[in-house]
Amino acid sequence: MNEGNNRILVNGNHAVAYGVRLAQPKVVPIYPITPQTPIVEKISEFQAAGEMVVELMTAESEHSAMAACITASLTGVRVFTATASQGLMLMHEMLHYASGARAPIVMFNVNRTIGSPWGFWPDQTDSLAQRDTGWIQYYCEHGQESLDTVLQAYRVAEKVMLPAMVMHEAFYVSHALDIVEVPAQEVVDQYLPAFNPLHRLDPEIGESWGNTVSQEMFYRHRRDLGLAMESVIDVAQKADAEWQELSSRGYGIIEEYRCEGAELVIATMGSMVGTARDAVDNLRKEGVSIGLLKVKLFRPFPTEAVRQALMGVPKVMVLDRNFAPGTGGFLHQELKAALYGMDRGPAVHGYLTGVGGTNISPTNIATLAREAMSTQPVVSSVWKG
Amino acid sequence: MNMGYLINEEKVFNSGHAACPGCSEALAMRYIVNTLGPDTIGVVPPSCIAIISGPQPLSSMRMPVYQTTLEASAASAAGIARALKAKGNDHTKVVVIAGDGGTYDIGFQALSSAAERNEDFIYVCLDNEGYMNTGAQKSSSTPYLAYTASTPAGKQTPKKNLAEIMAAHRIPYVATATTGYPEDLARKVAKAKEMKGLSFILVLAPCLDGWGLADNAGPKVSRLAVETGVFPLYEVEDGERYTLNYGSKGTPVSQYLSLQKRYRHLNQAQIEEIQLEVDHNWQHLQRNFST
Amino acid sequence: MKEAFKEVPSIWTTGWTDILKTGTWRSAIPIYQKRLAPCHCACPVDGEIPTWIMLARRQLYREAWSALVANNPFPAITGRICHHPCEGACNRVEYDGAVAINALEQYIGDLALSEGWTLPQLRVELDQRIAVIGGGPAGLSCAYQLRRLGYKVTIFESRPELGGILRYGIPRYRLSKEILDGELKRLVALGIEAKLNHQVKSGDLSGLEEEYSAVFLALGAQSSKTIPQFSVDNNRVFKGLDFLERVNRGEAPQLGKQVIVIGGGSVALDVAGTVRRLGSQVKVLALESRESLPAQPDELAESLEEGVEIVAGVMVQKVSLSPDQISLDCVRVTLDETSPAGVLRPIQRSGTEFSVSATDVILAVGQDAVLTGWDRVVNVGQSLIRVDANLETNRPGVFAGGDVTPAERFVSTAIGQGKKAAISIDKYLTKQTSKGYSTKETEVLEDVVSYKEINTFYFPQENRETKGTVMVEQRLQNFAELKIGFSAQQTQFQAERCFSCGNCVECDNCFYFCPDMAVVKDSSLEEHYRILDQYCKGCGSCVQECPRGAVVLKEETER
- What are the pLDDT digits (tens) for A184-218? 999 999 999 999 999 999 999 999 999 999 999 99
User: In the sheet where A315-320 sits, what is the strand order?
Assistant: A254-257, A290-295, A264-268, A315-320, A347-352, A382-383
**pLDDT at position B186:** 97
* Binary contact (B113, A60; C-beta < 8 A): yes
Counting residues of chain A whose pLDDT is more than 90, the rounded percentage is: 97
Q: Which domains does chain A have, with CATH numbers?
A: 6-247 (3.40.50.970), 254-383 (3.40.50.920)
- Position C442 pLDDT exceeds 60: no
Instruction: Give the contacts of B12 (CB within 8 A, at least 6 positions apart).
Output: B33, B34, B36, B37, B38, B40, B61, B62, B63
Question: Which amino acid is residue C292, in one-letter code?
Answer: S
Residue ranges and CATH numbers for the domains of chain B are 24-286 (3.40.50.970)
- Biggest CA-to-CA distance, chain B: 60
Pairing of strands B58-59, C15-16: parallel
Q: Which of A8, A41, A12, A5 is nearest to A177 (CA)?
A: A12
Exposure class string for C487-497: b at 16+ Cβ within 10 A, else e: eeebbbbbbbb
Q: Which of A146, A128, A115, A131 is nearest to A36 (CA)?
A: A146
Cα separation, C308 vs C271, whole angstroms: 11
Q: Please name the residues in contact with A78: beta carbons below 8 A apart, sequence gap of 6 or more.
A: A23, A24, A25, A26, A27, A154, A158, A195
Q: Which residue of C10, C11, C17 is the best one to mutate when testing the A interface, meaning the one whose CB has the most A CBs within 10 A? A: C11
Single out the residue of A269, A267, A253 nearest to residue A321, CA to CA: A269
Q: How far is A24 from chain B (nearest CA, A)?
A: 11
Output the pTM of the full model. Answer: 0.89
Tell me the chain A residues in contact with residue C9 when contact means C-beta distances shorter than 8 Å.
Answer: 217
Query: Among residues 216-275 of chain B, which lie with CB inside 8 Å of chain A?
Result: none
Q: How confident is the model at residue C1 (pLDDT cuts 50, 70, 90)?
A: very low
Collapsed DSSP state (helix, strand, coil) of residue C35: coil
The type of residue at A144 is: Q
- For A106, phi then psi, to 5°, come to -115, 125
In this model, does residue B254 exceed pLDDT 70? Answer: yes
Q: Report the Cα–Cα distance between both ends of chain B, in Å, rounded.
A: 26
**A91: Cβ–Cβ under 8 A, 6 or more apart, which residues?**
A62, A63, A65, A66, A83
Distance between CA C466 and CA C490 in Å, rounded? 10
- What integer is the mean pLDDT of A376-384? 95
Question: What's the gap in Å between the CA of A368 and the closest CA on chain B?
Answer: 47
Instruction: List residues in chain C touching A: CB distance below 8 A.
Output: 5-6, 8-14
Strands (E) across C135-257 are located at 152-156, 193-195, 214-217, 223-224, 237-239
- Check B79 against A212: CB less than 8 A apart: no
- Three-state SS at C348: strand
Instruction: For residue C437, name the pLDDT band (cuts at 50, 70, 90).
Output: low
Please state, in angstroms and rounded to a whole number, the distance separating the CA atoms of residues A384 and A368.
Answer: 8
**How is domain C38-117+449-495 classified at the architecture level of CATH?**
Orthogonal Bundle (1.10)
Please state, in angstroms and rounded to a whole number, the distance separating the CA atoms of residues A322 and A331: 9
CA dist A236 to A163, B170, B216, C312, Å?
13, 49, 60, 112
Find chain C residues with C-beta within 8 A of B18's C-beta.
17, 20, 22
Peptide bond into A193 cis (omega under 30): no
**Low-confidence winner among A55-59, B16-20, C332-336 (lowest mean pLDDT):** C332-336
Of B51, B62, B83, the CB nearest to A27: B83
Give the CATH number of domain C226-365. 3.50.50.60
Whether the CB-CB separation of C468 and C483 falls below 8 Å is answered with: yes
Packed helices C101-115 and C177-188: angle between N→C axes, nearest 10 degrees: 70
The span from the CA of A327 to the CA of C479, in Å, is 113
User: For B55, which DSSP code?
Assistant: S
Please give, rounded to a whole number of angstroms, the shortest distance from the CA of B168 to a CA of chain C: 33
Residue ranges, comma separated, of all CATH 3.30.70.20 domains in chain C are 17-34+504-555
Ranges for all domains in chain C classified under CATH 3.50.50.60: 129-222+369-432, 226-365
pLDDT at C445: 56
How many CA within 13 A on the CB side of residue C490?
Answer: 20
Asked if the Cβ–Cβ distance from C12 to A217 is below 8 Å, we say: no
- The overall average pLDDT reported for chain A is 96
In sequence order, which ranges of C488-558 are alpha helices (DSSP H)? 488-495, 509-512, 541-545
Between residues 96 and 155 of chain A, which touch chain B (CB distance below 8 Å)? 97
State whether the Cα torsion C246-C247-C251-C255 is positive or negative: positive
CB A262 within 8 A of CB A291: yes
Do B57 and A74 count as a contact with CB atoms less than 8 A apart? no
CATH of domain C129-222+369-432: 3.50.50.60
pLDDT in tens, C169-224: 999 999 999 999 999 999 999 999 999 999 999 999 999 999 999 999 999 998 88
Per-residue pLDDT, C550: 93
Which amino acid would we find at residue C245? Answer: E
pLDDT of A292 strictly over 90: yes
Do C277 and C476 contact (CB within 8 A), yes or no? yes
- Decide if pLDDT at C557 tops 90: no
pLDDT band at B267 (very low <50, low <70, confident <90, very high): very high
As a whole number, mean pLDDT of residues A342-365 equals 95
pLDDT of residue C232: 61
What are the E-state strand segments in C243-397? 258-262, 281-286, 309-312, 314-322, 325-335, 346-348, 354-358, 360-363, 367-368, 380-381, 384-385
Which amino acid is it at C59? Q
Residue of C nearest to A224 (CA): C8
What is the location of CATH 1.10.1060.10 in chain C?
Answer: 38-117+449-495
Task: Characterize the bridge pairing of strands B233-237 and B241-246.
Answer: antiparallel
Name residue B148's beta-bridge partners. Answer: B151
Most B CBs within 10 Å: which of C516, C544, C551, as the mutation test of the B interface? C516
Bridge partners (DSSP) of residue C448 are C36
pLDDT for A30: 94
Question: Band of the pLDDT at B5, cuts 50, 70, 90?
Answer: confident
CA distances (Å), origin A166, targets A83, A357, A383, C220, C517: 11, 19, 27, 108, 50
Find chains touching chain C: ≥3 CB pairs under 8 Å. A, B
Q: Tens digit of pLDDT for each residue in B112-136?
A: 999 999 999 999 999 999 998 888 8
Span A161-179, average pLDDT: 95
Return the closest-CA partner of residue A316 out of A270, A365, A364, A264. Answer: A264
CB distance A360 to A353 below 8 Å: yes
Q: How far apart are CA A134 and CA A125, in angstroms?
A: 16
Q: What is the pLDDT of residues C237-272, one digit of tens each?
A: 999 999 999 999 999 999 999 999 999 999 999 999
Three-state SS for C385? strand
Q: C160 and C196 in contact (C-beta within 8 Å)?
A: yes
DSSP state for residue A204 in the 8-state scheme: T
Pick the closest to residue A81 from A96, A65, A92 (CA basis): A65
What is the complex's ipTM, to 2 decimals? 0.94
Condensed to tens digits (0 to 9), the pLDDT of residues C366-406 reads 899 999 999 999 999 988 999 999 999 999 999 999 999 99
Q: Do C14 and A221 touch (CB under 8 A)?
A: no
Query: Measured between CB atoms, does A222 come within 8 Å of chain C?
Result: no
Q: d(Cα A228, Cα A166) in Å, to the nearest integer?
A: 18
Give the other-Cβ count within 10 Å of A216's Cβ: 11
Which of these, A311, A367, A297, A371, lies nearest to A341 by C-alpha position?
A: A311
Please tell me the class of the C17-34+504-555 domain.
Answer: alpha beta
Which residues on adjacent β-strands are paired with residue C281?
Answer: C258
Examine the pLDDT at C6 and tell me if it is beyond 80. Answer: no
Please give the Cα distance from A131 to A151 (Å, whole number): 21
**Chains touching A (3+ CB pairs < 8 Å):** B, C
Q: What is the mean pLDDT of chain C?
A: 91
Q: Name every chain C residue with its beta carbon within 8 A of the beta carbon of B54.
A: 13, 16-17
Q: What pLDDT was estimated at residue B1?
A: 40
pLDDT of residue C4: 39
| Cβ separation B110–A64 shorter than 8 A | yes
All residues of chain A having their beta carbon less than 8 Å from the beta carbon of residue B95 are none
B152 half-sphere exposure, CB direction, 13 A CA radius: 1
